[in-house]
């Protein structure tokens, strides 16, 4: 921003949608057609007859205005540890896109991107049309599935769901209980939404609090070390070996170990 008086106190505001990042949607292609406008909608006209329905999923991402759209995304479907289908769009298919209105590439953009698994079908009314093996027939393989999403080659999201023997994705009940008005199955925790972060409101909060606490412990012992000139060799060795790992990973067991070491040497101080 130009440092001139007329540009002072001008701010760009945005809505924080971090709460959607751990949430995934898994659904039938028929649901997708029913929800959207045009000839295929829920506003009075019927959804056309479909001979088969593909698996679809949607995940939310945060980044710059450009990165959420132009990152390289790839989603893979796994069954019993084996990859059975994939969805690799050329760029994000943002059904919901929120970007701050600014001439700069803001880091507070959100995109809910849709992935269509064109070779994974939930049901098929004309199973003999395509050659055997052309589609992965989920209706013949009920059980637990997992979707893994890569963003620029790195694992960014995972979501597990169950496909029943009734040709339907087993509902978690979240959409109905919260009156979301959608037939999509809501997966409340896409396990890896930003590498290295704990997922879910409580786990995320606990992880942050633990990391903050360990940072204060580390600073406290460092200050005491500088003031007193030495520490217990045991505590010093413990910090030297585990400090960086603990602060990065937020390990609860090592966190407790740090607390015991701290009690043995000094009272915590605020960094």
Structure tokens at 259: 């607390």
More confidently predicted of 60 and 128: 60
Checking if the pLDDT of 230 tops 90, the result is no
Checking if the pLDDT of 170 tops 80, the result is yes
More confidently predicted of 61 and 128: 61
Q: Residue 195 domain-assigned? A: no
Which residue spans within the chain are E strands per DSSP? 24-28, 52-63, 73-79, 82-87, 94-98, 109-124, 136-137, 143-151, 154-163, 185-187
63 vs 61: CA distance, rounded Å: 7
CA atoms within a 13 Å half-sphere pointing along the CA-CB vector of 239? 20
Last residue of a domain, one of 187, 215, 241: 187
Residue 105: what pLDDT? 74
Q: What is the pLDDT of residues 196-226, one digit of tens each?
A: 333 333 444 444 444 554 444 444 444 444 4
| Percent of the chain at pLDDT exceeding 90 | 36
Last residue of a domain, one of 158, 187, 216: 187
**What would the mean pLDDT of 139-164 be, rounded to a whole number?**
95
Residue 46: what pLDDT? 60
Q: Residue 73 domain-assigned? A: yes
Q: Answer yes or no: do 29 and 93 share one domain.
A: yes
Residue 173: what pLDDT? 93
Q: Answer yes or no: do 228 and 113 share one domain.
A: no
The boundaries of the domain holding residue 227 are 201-265
| Percent of the chain at pLDDT exceeding 70 | 61
Q: Answer yes or no: do 15 and 122 share one domain.
A: yes
Q: Residue 271 domain-assigned? A: no
Q: Answer yes or no: do 151 and 246 share one domain.
A: no
Residue 191: what pLDDT? 62
More confidently predicted of 263 and 59: 59
Q: Answer yes or no: do 174 and 67 share one domain.
A: yes
Q: Residue 194 domain-assigned? A: no
Predicted TM-score (pTM) of this structure: 0.66
More confidently predicted of 158 and 49: 158
Residue 189: what pLDDT? 76
Q: Answer yes or no: do 142 and 117 share one domain.
A: yes
Q: Residue 192 domain-assigned? A: no
Q: What is the pLDDT of residues 21-44, one digit of tens each?
A: 999 999 998 888 777 655 544 555
Structure tokens at 229: 């000139």
Q: Answer yes or no: do 177 and 231 share one domain.
A: no
201 vs 100: CA distance, rounded Å: 25
Tally of structural domains, the chain: 2
Checking if the pLDDT of 60 tops 80, the result is yes
Residue 192: what pLDDT? 61
């Amino acid at each position: 921003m130009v440092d001139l008086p007329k540009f002072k106190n001008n701010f760009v505001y945005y809505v924080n949608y971090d709460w959607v990042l751990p949430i995934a949607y898994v659904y039938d292609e028929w649901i997708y057609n029913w929800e959207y406008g045009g000839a295929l909608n829920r506003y009075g006209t019927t959804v056309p007859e479909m001979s088969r329905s593909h698996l679809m999923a949607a995940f939310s991402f945060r980044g710059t205005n450009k990165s959420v759209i132009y990152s390289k995304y790839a989603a893979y479907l796994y069954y019993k540890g084996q990859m059975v289908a994939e969805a690799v769009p050329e760029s994000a298919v943002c059904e919901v896109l929120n970007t701050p209105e600014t001439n700069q590439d803001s880091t507070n953009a959100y995109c809910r991107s849709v992935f269509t698994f064109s070779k994974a079908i939930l049901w098929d009314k004309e199973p003999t049309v395509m050659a055997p093996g052309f589609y992965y027939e989920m209706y013949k393989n009920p059980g637990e599935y997992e979707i893994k999403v890569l963003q620029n080659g790195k694992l960014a999201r995972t979501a597990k769901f169950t496909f029943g023997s009734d040709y339907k994705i087993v509902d978690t009940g979240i959409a109905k209980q919260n009156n979301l008005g959608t037939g999509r199955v809501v997966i409340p925790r896409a396990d890896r939404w930003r590498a290295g972060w704990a997922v879910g409101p409580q786990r995320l909060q606990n992880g942050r609090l633990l990391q903050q606490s360990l940072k204060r412990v580390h600073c406290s012992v460092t200050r005491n070390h500088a003031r007193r000139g030495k520490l217990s060799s045991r505590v010093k060795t413990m910090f030297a070996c585990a400090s960086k790992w603990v602060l990065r990973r937020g390990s609860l067991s090592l966190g407790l170990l740090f607390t015991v070491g701290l009690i043995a040497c000094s009272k915590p101080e605020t960094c």
